Amino acid sequence: MSDSQVLGLFPPGSVVDHGMLSVGGCRLDDIAAEFGTPVMVVAEDAVRQRARDYLAAFRSRWARADVAFASKAFPCTTIQRLASEEGLLLDVAGGGEIITALAAGADPARMLLHGNAKTDEELELAVAKGVGLIVVDNFDDIDRLERIVEPGHRQACLVRVVPGIEADTHAAVATGHAGSKFGLLPEDARVAIDRIRRSRVLRCDGVHTHVGSQLLDAEQLAAAVAPVAALGSFDVYDFGGGLGVRYTYADQPPEVDVYAQTMIDKARGLVPADARIIVEPGRSMTATAACTVYRVTTVKRGKVIHVAVDGGMGDNLEVSLYGQRFEATLVDRLGGGESVTVVGRHCESGDQLIDVVPLDNPAVGDLLAVPVTGAYCYTMSNQYNGARRIPVVFATGGDARLVVRRDTWADLLARDVELP
């Protein structure tokens, strides 16, 4: 595997600097020395450029196009602030993401609240803080909102519709099929739309749909346009996110321009020309902008060569939950070498980061980098086996700054009420 092929999976602008992998102008060995390992490194400029690319791709093809960052992909306040600074809306799923978005300084009027099981507390928070759009997922959402929204006010809503599409992705991230827990089938969506239109405190601005996540075929995403457009004319049509990214050397996701062109081509003639179109990228906004750096703690040579690192499913659950394939390299010896299995430190056989990946003579103390960890890894980080959740470092122009600190040992006890 050549250096250029390996670098192709790391954040744009990554280079080899005097034999060492460098991200955002910062050598990964320097970052590891300053912040310890494991550590997630985010190339800030790559996230900003991705946001600009998304806006340009859609707004150049549709007059009233908006892009909302799906916060659940990376609900870090610094990421949410960055997305807001670049002109993106924020898709928030639940009260916690509202709180972090507000802490990031985001305008609540430019937020969309999602969730298939919203509580009274979350809806009260959204209404009190002035969240711009609440995506109604069920009739119970309407019941709750009609109790919560005070007379004389109108809460803008979108109705989430099940488009009836079987997505070519992992079952756990498929959301557009008839059996999905999300949204309403078209016949029920019509009832919900009518009910909201008759409400004294709610306003139906439009409809929402989502096919699934990590889709590598733009046509599958565009297939949701027709069933949603068939529900009538609205001011807003939100087609969700779901564009896949390149996790492995073999993956070939569509470029953002291709995705935008495919979606807009499908929308023309089906969606009113003066309507507002929203898309909600999450994974495809941040995944490729980050990598995670580990230190090798053990190399066990037998029937399988196990290379164990100081992290694992505590900082990357994508492998265990979704069977997602990742690649890896030693930071000072890119590509090539013997086939090994990279495993984590947790007491579980399922704590395997990468099965069969070539590493160049790995040894204890080596630094190993896994690219494309900028989506859902931070989101699902945990303290399994008392592990401390890892820090997030932003790198840009040769400067590295800490935006999320590593857990301390005290953090492991912070929520206990009774201590000896």
The Cα angle at residue 47 between residues 392 and 88, in degrees rounded to 5: 115
Task: Spell 221-244 as b/e; 16+ CB within 10 A means b.
Answer: bbbbbebbbebeebebbbbbbbbb
238 HSE (CA, 13 A, CB side): 33
| Cis peptide preceding 420, ω within 30 of 0 | no
Within this chain, do residues 230 and 355 fall inside the same structural domain, yes or no?
Answer: no
Tokens of 283: 């994974």
Q: How confident is the model at residue 168 (pLDDT cuts 50, 70, 90)?
A: low
Q: Which among 257, 285, 313 is the end of a domain? A: 285
The per-residue pLDDT for range 291-342, each reduced to its tens digit, is 999 999 999 999 999 999 999 999 999 999 989 999 999 999 998 899 999 9
pLDDT of residue 336: 83
Active site residues: 347
pLDDT of residue 359: 97
Q: How confident is the model at residue 181 (pLDDT cuts 50, 70, 90)?
A: confident
Residue 284 to residue 313: CA distance in whole angstroms: 22
Mean residue pLDDT of the chain comes to 95
Q: What is the mean pLDDT of the segment spanning 158-163?
A: 95
Within this chain, do residues 20 and 128 fall inside the same structural domain, yes or no?
Answer: no
Q: What CATH number does residue 14 fall under?
A: 2.40.37.10
pLDDT of residue 167: 61
- Contact indicator for 200, 151 with CB cutoff of 8 Å: yes
The per-residue pLDDT for range 254-265, each reduced to its tens digit, is 999 999 999 999
Q: Which domain holds residue 50?
A: 45-285
- Contact indicator for 328, 353 with CB cutoff of 8 Å: yes
Annotated binding site: 242, 280-283, 322, 348, 376
Tell me how many domains the chain contains: 2
The per-residue pLDDT for range 361-417, each reduced to its tens digit, is 999 999 999 999 999 999 999 999 999 999 999 999 999 999 999 999 999 999 999
Task: Decide if pLDDT at 172 tops 80.
Answer: no
Tokens of 342: 């990279």
Does 415 reside within a domain? no
Within this chain, do residues 175 and 313 fall inside the same structural domain, yes or no?
Answer: no
pTM of structure:
0.95
Within this chain, do residues 54 and 196 fall inside the same structural domain, yes or no?
Answer: yes
Tokens of 81: 């602030």
Within this chain, do residues 292 and 302 fall inside the same structural domain, yes or no?
Answer: yes
In 10 A of CB 403, how many CB atoms?
A: 17
Residue 47 to residue 129: CA distance in whole angstroms: 27
- Contact indicator for 76, 404 with CB cutoff of 8 Å: yes
Q: Which among 285, 308, 323 is the end of a domain? A: 285
Q: What is the mean pLDDT of the segment spanning 267-277?
A: 97
Annotated binding site for substrate: 283, 322, 348, 376
Q: What is the mean pLDDT of the segment spanning 107-119?
A: 97
Q: What is the mean pLDDT of the segment spanning 124-128?
A: 98
Which residues make Cβ contacts (< 8 Å) with residue 416, sequence separation at least 6? none
pLDDT of residue 169: 61
Within this chain, do residues 177 and 206 fall inside the same structural domain, yes or no?
Answer: yes
Annotated binding site for pyridoxal 5'-phosphate: 242, 280-283, 376
Tokens of 262: 């495919």
pLDDT of residue 198: 97
